[in-house]
Amino acid sequence: EPYNKLAVLDKHSFGVSALIQLKEKEILVSSGLDKTLRLWNLTNYECITTVSDISYANTLLESGDFIIIGSFNNVTVFNLKSMKIIYSIDEQNGGFFNSLLELRNGNILIGNSYGKVYLYDVYSNKHAVKKQPLASNFSVMIHINKNTFASGCNKKLKLWKY
């Protein structure tokens, strides 16, 4: 192997579906097909906590004191301070919520595989806008500058201003 293995973190009973390292913290967050979210200490490689009975994540996003979990037909908001799920957005036939982007104003754009995008205010627990169709097969989003982001879908990249 060309790399030196540091540790094996093996608490998930099925495959790992998403990972994110918390900003400015030595904590790794993993989501698994076993419907658990796990927080890992990257100093001693111990599992800090396990949250059960969540949909496995397609994508994870840290936003302040929250982790946003994009899953199939569901987006869950987990509070890092209380270590509890505080609410979920359930969408029947919502597809895979596979793209999360934090906007500079604190809102979250949540894109799904059907080309729907939700603008969500995490801090007030409300949808700011629901089902804004931007593109079909919406797959990825990234910030370009202060109030512009790009989305990738099919063979096209599109630029958006907010």
What mean pLDDT is reported for the chain?
80
Phi, psi (5° rounding) for residue 118?
-105, 135
Q: Are 113 and 137 in contact (CB under 8 A)?
A: yes
The Cα–Cα gap between 28 and 40 comes to: 5
**pLDDT average, residue stretch 62-84:** 87
Q: What percent of the chain has pLDDT over 90?
A: 22
Residue in 69, 108, 58 with CA at minimum distance from that of residue 78:
69
Terminal CA-CA length for the chain: 46
The Cα–Cα gap between 95 and 113 comes to: 6
Q: Are 86 and 77 in contact (CB under 8 A)?
A: yes
Q: Place 55 in a pLDDT band, splitting at 50, 70 and 90.
A: confident
Q: Which helix (H) or strand (E) holds 34?
A: none
Q: What percent of the chain has pLDDT over 70?
A: 84
- Sequence-ordered list of residues with C-beta below 8 angstroms from that of 102, at least 6 positions apart, any chain: 61, 63, 108
pLDDT at 126 over 70: no
Q: Is the pTM of this model over 0.85?
A: no
